[in-house]
Every structure is written in C-alpha cells, then in structure tokens.
Amino acid sequence: MDILKKAKDYVETLFKDKLSSVYFYHNFIHTTFTVNKAEEILKNTPVSEKDQEKVLLALWFHDTGYIECAKDHEEKGAEIAKSFLQKENYPENDINEIVKLILATKITYDPQNLLEEIVKDADCSHFASHDYNDISDALRKEWELTNVRCFSNDEWNAGNLDMLKNRHQFYTDYAKSAWQPLKEKNIKKIEKKLEKEDGKKDGSENKKEKDKDKEKDPKPDRSVDTLFRVTLSNHTRLSDIADSKANILLSVNAIIISVCLSVLVPKLDTPKNSHLIIPSFILLLSAVLTIIFAILSTKPNVTKTKFSLQDVADRKVNLLFFGNFNRMLFDDYQSAMNVLIKDRDYIYDSMVKDLYYLGKVLDRKYRLLSITYKIFMAGIIISVLSFGYAFLSL
C-alpha cells in the first residue's frame, strides 16, 4: 500500500480513537483540508515527487500531537510520525526531514526553505477560505472548551484582524497570487464586524432598546449546532462500527457452518467417527447462536406511532425521526415542520430526543454484539477442547 494512504488511514484511526471531542478545529477535518491545500500548491510549484511525499506526510501528522496535549503538540506529532515511519522502514534521512517540516508548522517559526514554506502556507490556508468565519468560530470554541481563553466578540475579531494583517504572510508564489486576494476579503469582513460593534457601542438609547428586543429572540449559538452535528456524527460512526463487526461475525460463522455441513457432518454417520458427534454439534450450535445474535444486533427496530396535530403543538412528537411521520399526509407534515422550524427551543428539544433514542438503539446494538462475541468465543474454545478430548479419549 502507498505510504501516503497508510499514513492517512493511520491518522484517521488515531484521531477517531484518541482525540477528544472538544477539538472542534484541530481534528481530522482540518488535517485533510491542509493536505488538500498542500496538494494544490504542489501542483503549481516545481517540486520533486519525493519532496512532495515528504510534505504530505508531514501534514498528515502535524496535528496528531493533540491526542496527548495541545502544548508542544508539534514535538509530540513529530514523535508519532517518526515512530510510524520507522515501522514502515522509511529512510531515516527522510524521516528527519519530515520531522523538521512538522516542527516548521509552529506559528512563530519562519520557514527556511521551499518545503517549509509550502507546509506553512498549507497549514494557514484557512485564512483565505470562503468559510473562514466558521473555521474561526470552531477554533474559538475549542479554546474555550480546553481552557485556553474565553474571548468577547470584540477581542476575538480584533485578534483575528491582527493575525491576518500583521502576524501572518503567505510565502510561496502560488499562495501569494491565488490566496492573498481571498485573505484580503476576509480581512475586510472582520473590519466590517468591528465597525458594527463600534456602532453598537456609540448608538442611541433607541438602538439599545432594539438590541434588547433582539436579545429576547437570540440567534442559535453556532457552538450548540456544532455540538449536535459532532454528536450525531459520532452516533452514526459507532452504529456503522457495530454493524461492521456484526457482519464480520455473520460471514465467519456462515463459513464455519458451510464447512461443517459439507465436510464434517457427512462423516459422522460412520461408527469410527461417532466420537466427533458432540464436538461437531457444539461447534454448529455456537455458530448458529452467534449468527442469530449478530442478526438481532443489526435488525432494525423502528417504532411507528400515530399522533395528532395537537400532539405536535404540545411538542410531544419528534418530527426528525421518520418512524413518527411516515404515516402522515404531506400537508400535515409540512404544517408540523413549519411549527418546528419557527421555534428554536422545539428544534433543540427534537434534536435532543433524536440523539437520546439513537443512543438507546446504540446501547441495544452493543449489548447484543457483546453477547454475540462472548458466544462466539466460548463456542470456539469449548469446541476445540471437545475435539481435543474426543481424540485423546480414543
């Protein structure tokens, strides 16, 4: 397998298993974005294939240190990369260069060569992103949750403006020509935000009253939306993992049963093989039970209920779950959804219910899956011991 593909899979698994969910910014999504931006630079910059590989490997690992701690994460990421590459028998000289490239992603570091410039530009490419505001908000929330610092809107916007205007620059020719104009647009957007904040402070008493009225109907908090999105993604991913494990057990035990029925069972009708009847029965029974419980763990369990529009008005219905609305007429469903989307609290209540019942489904899946593995393990052990005893007792 290509070393870049191995690195991607390794980092994805590492983040999935060990990275805290509070890292809204420094995660696999940011890492993938950075690698893609590096590839964009490399397509427009004369760099050898070997050096391209070094840059991309460095960027796959540059934030892996966050699985341990944010402080000195570059050094920790370099250690993780070095360990991985040594196991893959990667050339030692190239490993040392990749380690230097990872350390070059430090915000205060000035790049010394072209490869370091590419790494720096790719890591800061979000400064020229159309989604810069969303990306910036994710970093802000991450810093709040990891106790780095909580910022007011003014402080955050002023800090972003200072970073983009005074403390950051693109180094490669491609980034300067293709990304700098987009970065300038983001700078102007931040300046407009600050102007609006200043205008609010200098406004009249009437404007303050209007602001108070607006506060009564606040806009949804982006961090809450992100929380729901991340949690739902985790639920879905855990469900996929459970289904995958169940499918593995189904396949393995189906093979065991087919082999037993075609090879072992036909030989049991002879007297000389009578000692194998009980071990064979135990093996087949354990395989059948494993398949039954694996099927139960993946079997859909959809509760379908009927309800009235009054139930919708009383917020007794979760309209986000298809089992609740699949029997509704479209006009009724549309009316109910119009009620939902106009009430932020109702939306959040529905999402909370949806996550809760998804969690209940996951709990059932994993309990049945745990039983399935225990049956499979016990069946294999008892079968092997039974076969051994049968042969030794001859």
| pLDDT greater than 90 at residue 358 | no
pLDDT of residue 324: 58
Decide: 61 and 81 in contact? Cβ < 8 Å: yes
Across the chain, mean pLDDT equals: 81
| pLDDT greater than 90 at residue 113 | yes
Mean pLDDT, residues 276-305: 80
Residues 6+ apart with CB under 8 A from 74: 62, 65, 102, 103, 105, 106
Residues 6+ apart with CB under 8 A from 132: 126, 186, 189
At 207-218, the pLDDT tens digits run 555 555 555 444
- 132-145 vs 222-259: helix axis angle to the nearest 10? 80
pLDDT of residue 202: 60
Q: Which two tokens stand for residue 263?
A: 């090879």
Mean pLDDT, residues 261-275: 77
Mean pLDDT, residues 160-186: 91
> Sorting pLDDT into bands at 50, 70 and 90, what band is 321?
low
Short-list 119, 114, 139, CA closest to 62: 119
pLDDT of residue 1: 45
At 6-21, the pLDDT tens digits run 999 999 999 888 888 8
At 74-92, the pLDDT tens digits run 999 999 999 999 998 999 9
pLDDT of residue 175: 92
Decide: 158 and 194 in contact? Cβ < 8 Å: yes
Please count the other Cβ atoms lying within 10 Å of the Cβ belonging to residue 105. 23
Mean pLDDT, residues 381-387: 88
Q: Is 171 exposed, middle or buried (0-12, 13-18, 19+ CB in 10 A)?
A: middle
Mean pLDDT, residues 91-116: 92
Percent pLDDT > 90 in the chain is 28
| pLDDT greater than 60 at residue 284 | yes
Mean pLDDT, residues 312-330: 61
What pTM value is reported for the model? 0.52
At 37-87, the pLDDT tens digits run 999 999 999 999 999 999 999 999 999 999 888 888 899 999 999 999 999
